[in-house]
Amino acid sequence: MSGVVHDVPKCVVDKKEAVDFLLDAIGVLRAEHSGVTTMLDWYHVAQSREHEDAAVAALRDAQGRSIFCLGAGWGTPDPVDAEIRRVRSDLAGDGLVTMALGLRGPVDTSMDTVARELKLAAELGLRTSLHVDAGGTQRPVADLREHGLLRDTTTFVHANGISDGELRMLADAGSSVSISPDVELKMGFGSPMTGRALAAGLRPTLSIDDVPSVGGDMFSTMRTAFAVQRGLDGGLRSRDLLEFATVYAAQSCGLDARTGSITPGKDADVILLRADDLTVFPVTDPVATIVSAGHPGLVDTVLVAGRVVKRDGMLVGVDLAALRTRLVESRNRIAAAAGIPLDGTWRPRPESE
């Protein structure tokens, strides 16, 4: 299953490089354990080169296929050109860890900046990703088209509130759309626009987004997208959702020649699911079972590029005990420094304070 996970969270604390390394490593391992062979890491909170380098090192150290989608963040210099070029020079090959460019978009920056970053991406052979929403009189997709800045190498994340006409613009440009149904519903972005995207001629992909807020597996993501759209209009088939998470996900990442389907000549990215588990047995329709009742506990074996990274339900060659210890220590230290209790009683302060 070639799923897409973006907005993997990063922390701002002492020992920054070690924390970034740990979080990225855990993120990839969680994805692999859940049957996701490809992860797009939307990394837009870097505060230093050390942060970026530690994140890349962690992705390499894990055994999955990852796309390091580097965007402008709190500490990223503007313009970002020099830093993007630096990281790109380290990720210039076609190995398991590749690179993409995270755009800020016309809502967050000037159209001239968007144009410059798209030009840089084209020069470096990078696909781009852009978080986009709309409300009121905002028409970000129309503004991009007016300036000739829609590309078939750009994935638009969320797109809640985008008009039907703008969705058709994306389809005409060959752009892709990534829907994060769990986060969008939970955080009030609006109803996932799966059906509207299909009506506009787009074949959407699915993403998980904010892992601390929702489950980090593609099974629950497919199930939410399926249930919401079926509840709205009765549309969609189970096979549609499976294709969103595999074939079309690979296409949106520019990896469809290597993964996304079991095809001669492609890399062997394969997951084997248990059909004898009591939660799904007896399996009559495998696709419907995966979409409506699948869960990480069914993932028995995972191969990435022909290499077994999970076997008999256990990750291979990973010292999980040590990682768990480090993660708990990091969590406790961060919470203590921030004055956040770990008993579930903490609540954010009202904005009025």
pLDDT tens string 104-134: 888 888 999 999 999 999 999 999 999 988 7
Name the CA dihedral angle for 51, 53, 55, 56, rounded to a multiple of 10 degrees: 160
Contact assessment for residue 226 and residue 238, using Cβ atoms and an 8 Å cutoff: yes
pLDDT mean over 259-271: 95
pLDDT mean over 169-190: 95
pLDDT at 189 over 50: yes
Fill in the amino acid letter for 210. D
Q: Where are the domains of the chain?
A: 16-315
Q: Where are the beta strands (DSSP E) in the chain?
A: 38-43, 65-71, 97-103, 128-132, 154-158, 176-179, 205-206, 270-273, 299-304, 307-311, 314-315
pLDDT at 194 over 90: yes
pLDDT at 330 over 90: no
Instruction: Categorize the per-residue pLDDT at 235 as very low, low, confident or very high, splitting at 50, 70 and 90.
Output: confident
Residue 169 phi, psi dihedral angles, 5° rounding: -60, -40
| Least reliable range by pLDDT among 5-14, 18-27, 260-269 | 5-14
pLDDT score for 21: 65
- 282-292 pLDDT per residue, tens: 999 999 999 99
pLDDT score for 133: 80
- β-pairing, 314-315 with 307-311? antiparallel
pLDDT mean over 220-233: 95
* CATH 3.40.50.300, domain 16-315, yes or no: no
pLDDT score for 73: 64
Burial class (CB in 10 A: 0-12, 13-18, 19+), 350: exposed
Question: Which contacts (CB < 8 Å, 24+ apart) does range 324-330 have?
Answer: 326/22, 327/22, 327/26, 330/11, 330/13, 330/19, 330/22
Task: Name residues whose C-beta falls within 8 Å of residue 175's C-beta, 6 or more positions apart in sequence.
Answer: 150, 151, 152, 154, 155, 156
pLDDT score for 18: 54
